[in-house]
């Protein structure tokens, strides 16, 4: 697929980072996500078998309508906690939601069946002027490390040529289906990688632009779909996290 031209003048000099932290407690999971363009949290409450409530918190987001995505989450109340992630991604419509909060909800559902805390870190250096070695860590331990370029894996050889965004879930489910932990980490990487591609563009130059004008994004999520897209406006949200390490989510424990 031919990607749009790069408009970000410092592309090639930075690193995209995303951190996700999940903390299980009695009857609930607290979850948080922070990356270059987003900072979101939620509390998922449950009865040990099904979701009983989801309370999201939107702290940093790209469109002024994003907090309205709290509404569609109510459709997930009553969902069994052990619903497979692939089913949630294929049989439901993530694009009716804030996709980042939706994905965080799926991770919280899975974590509700575990104990303690879990942390994921995604690192994607700018893929310019050459492919970059990108990775996902779970609790500080590297799970997957792939050389990436323009939405595909370049190396190592067993994965070379495989897509990282469209077409990702079928091959990842086949490769890692016998290891749910490895599959979860791979999905976390794919979602983070997708967001990292925004580094190619000067997002600050879009501040104040109406979502209706950004036709390439239409249908991508809650804010880029009717009726929100008719009133949504881009806001300033970008943070350079290249040299930020353990400061991410340092107030969430």
User: What string of pLDDT tens digits covers the 253 residues of the chain?
Assistant: 556 777 889 999 999 999 999 999 999 999 999 999 999 999 999 999 999 999 999 999 999 999 999 999 999 999 999 999 888 888 888 999 999 999 999 999 999 999 999 999 999 999 999 999 999 999 999 999 999 999 999 999 999 999 999 999 999 999 998 999 999 999 999 999 999 999 999 999 999 999 999 998 999 999 999 999 999 999 999 999 999 877 899 999 9
Could you give the C-alpha distances from 50 to 56, 65, 81, 247, in angstroms and in order? 17, 29, 5, 33
In a domain, 249, yes or no: no
In a domain, 251, yes or no: no
Reported pTM: 0.95
In a domain, 137, yes or no: yes
pLDDT of residue 241: 94
In a domain, 23, yes or no: yes
In a domain, 6, yes or no: no
Rounded to the nearest angstrom, the gap between the alpha carbon of residue 192 and the centroid of all alpha carbons in its chain is: 5
Domain residues for 183?
Answer: 15-200
Overall domain count for the chain: 1
pLDDT of residue 97: 96
Q: What are the strands of the beta sheet with 39-46, ordered from one edge?
A: 51-60, 39-46, 28-35, 15-25, 117-125, 132-138, 141-149, 152-155
pLDDT of residue 2: 57
In a domain, 142, yes or no: yes
Residues in the chain: 253
């Amino acid at each position: 697929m031919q990607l749009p031209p790069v408009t970000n003048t410092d592309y090639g000099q930075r690193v995209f980072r995303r951190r996700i932290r999940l903390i299980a407690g009695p009857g609930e999971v607290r979850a948080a996500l922070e990356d270059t363009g987003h900072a979101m949290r939620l509390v998922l409450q449950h009865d040990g078998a099904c979701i009983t409530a989801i309370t999201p918190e939107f702290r940093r987001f790209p469109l002024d309508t994003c907090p309205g995505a709290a509404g569609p989450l109510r459709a997930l109340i009553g969902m069994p906690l052990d619903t497979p992630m692939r089913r949630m991604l294929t049989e439901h419509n993530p694009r009716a939601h804030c996709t980042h909060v939706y994905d965080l909800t799926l991770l919280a559902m899975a974590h509700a069946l575990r104990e303690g805390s879990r942390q994921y870190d995604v690192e994607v250096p700018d893929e310019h002027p050459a492919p970059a070695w990108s990775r996902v860590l779970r609790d500080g331990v590297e799970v997957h490390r792939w050389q990436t370029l323009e939405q595909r894996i370049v190396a190592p050889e067993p994965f070379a040529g495989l897509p990282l965004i469209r077409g990702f879930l079928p091959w990842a489910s086949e490769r890692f289906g016998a290891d749910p932990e490895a599959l979860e980490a791979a999905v976390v990487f794919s979602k983070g990688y997708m967001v990292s591609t925004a580094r190619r563009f000067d997002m600050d130059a879009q501040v104040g632009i109406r979502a209706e004008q950004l036709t390439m994004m239409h249908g991508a999520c809650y804010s880029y779909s009717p009726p929100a897209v008719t009133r949504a406006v881009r806001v300033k949200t970008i943070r350079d996290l290249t040299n930020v390490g353990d400061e991410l989510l340092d107030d969430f424990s």
